[in-house]
Amino acid sequence: MKTNPSFRVFKLSALAPLGIAIAAALVTQPLRATPIVNNIVITENSSTSLTATYNGSPVAVTFFSADHWTITFPSTVSFNVTGVNIDWVEPDNADLGNAVVFAPFSPVFVTSDASTNFLAESNGATVTVGSDTSNGGTVTATFFDNGDVAAAPDTGSTLGLLSLSVVALLGATRLRFLQLAA
């Protein structure tokens, strides 16, 4: 049986590679670059205690005086907000802030309980501050002020002390009542 040469394309052996190529094209997904974000986390625990991490690893923090520190980051980190304070609001006083100065080739300066007269970030807010040449990613900074968090009263011990004082008051009035009856 003679076959028409134009139908040779439709033979199974000729269609198999074409089908594999089409299936592979449908299964593969386009590559999307995931942006790299490097994280600085600064935490103030008290007026003399400040910790800082870069991508989860501790970095050098130097204490100068109450509420004043410097932080040294790897040399691959550069800041694009140079010479500008980024301030995070004090949790217990909105008129004060935590001023952080990101300088290009020197340590980062941190001053807590600083007077601010401009808009500041909320405690725990994240701000983009620079980039890291080691991986081409951006650098963000987050400041947590745990040293000045307004303390809520402990209701458990307050209730216990209130109960004790009520019992003592009732005992004193019964004792006085018994003394008057005798």
Residue 136 lies in a domain: yes
Q: How far apart are CA 113 and CA 66, in angstroms?
A: 10
| Residue 47 tokens, joined | 């007026």
Residue 180 lies in a domain: no
What DSSP string runs through 47-65? TTEEEEEETTEE-EEEEEE
**Distant-in-sequence, close-in-space partners of 156: CB < 8 Å, separation ≥ 6:** none
Average pLDDT over all residues of the chain: 79
Closest CA to 118 of 97, 140, 91: 97
Closest CA to 89 of 135, 122, 53: 122
pLDDT tens, position by position, 94-149: 888 899 988 876 789 999 988 876 678 889 999 999 899 999 899 999 999 987 55
Residue 113 lies in a domain: yes
Residue 33 has pLDDT above 90, yes or no: no
Residue 70 lies in a domain: yes
Number of domains observed in the structure of the chain: 1
Residue range of the domain that includes 88: 37-145
122 and 128 Cβ atoms separated by less than 8 Å: no
Residue 162 lies in a domain: no
Residue 94 lies in a domain: yes
Identify the H or E element spanning 98.
Answer: strand 93-101
